[in-house]
Structure 1
């Protein structure tokens, strides 16, 4: 289902997949994030790390009444403070979606699926 924005010259429809790509790209710019994880169940206790071409598989966009909720499934780098990384991602995603698209995001939920050691 597309998100519709009313402008002075008409309506703009934005697909939820576009919102997911923008949210995923914004999250990937944050320090301490290894990548996005698949929303599906873990395989043998290890989260599937997604590449840049599959960012939308780690992002879920939900509309609850008139509010927009973004769920991000992430993999965090070992040695970083998880709460700080999650907070930075929340702030960045909310800011980018507001500035780029003009959406008011109600919630950005972070689900840490795994911690990886980068070598």
Structure 2
């Protein structure tokens, strides 16, 4: 599936995978996040919906605005409210800037904790 937008010269279709990639890249820059989680999301009825491996981000359109769900793992010791707020801001800004799609909400799901204090330094 993709999101369609129209201009005077024609149409533009942006894949949900592209939006997920943008969101995932923005998430990688947030201090405290160990990585995306591959856990499946459930719908309103509680039925698990399995997406293919690699999909930790789900996007839905509501009234012309995107609602994103992102599932992440955090490093041990991360302050969850601060990390979640930073993640929401960065993902929303990145998606809106790169695609022009308005993002109304970014739901953060903390799926797990990595039992190290932070990522190892790369030399």
Q: Structure 1 residue runs of 4+, over 2 Å off?
A: 64-67
- 2:96 corresponds to which of 95, 98, 109: 98
Give secondary structure in 1 for the equivalent of 2:13: strand
Give secondary structure in 2 for the equivalent of 1:107: strand
Counterpart position of 1:72: 70
Which sits farther off after the overlay, 16-25 or 3-12?
A: 3-12
Residues matched between the structures, number: 107
Aligned partners of 2:70 and 2:53: how far apart in 1? Answer: 10
Counterpart position of 2:3: 3
User: As a proportion of its length, which structure holds more helix?
Assistant: 1
Which sits farther off after the overlay, 102-111 or 4-13?
A: 4-13
TM-score (norm. length: structure 2):
0.79
- In structure 2, list runs of 5 or more residues that go unmatched: 42-51, 118-123
Which sits farther off after the overlay, 93-102 or 4-13?
A: 4-13
CA deviation digits over 1:28-61, x for unaligned, max 9? 11110000001238xxxxxxxxxxxx99511111
- In structure 1, list runs of 5 or more residues that go unmatched: 42-53
Aligned partners of 1:23 and 1:31: how far apart in 2? Answer: 15
Which sits farther off after the overlay, 109-118 or 84-93?
A: 109-118
Correspondences of 1:1-119 after superposition (within 5 Å) = 1-40=1-40, 56-118=54-116
After superposition, the Cα gap between the structure-2 partners of 1:55 and 1:110, relative to the gap in structure 1 and judged at 3 Å, is: farther
Aligned partners of 2:20 and 2:77: how far apart in 1? Answer: 27
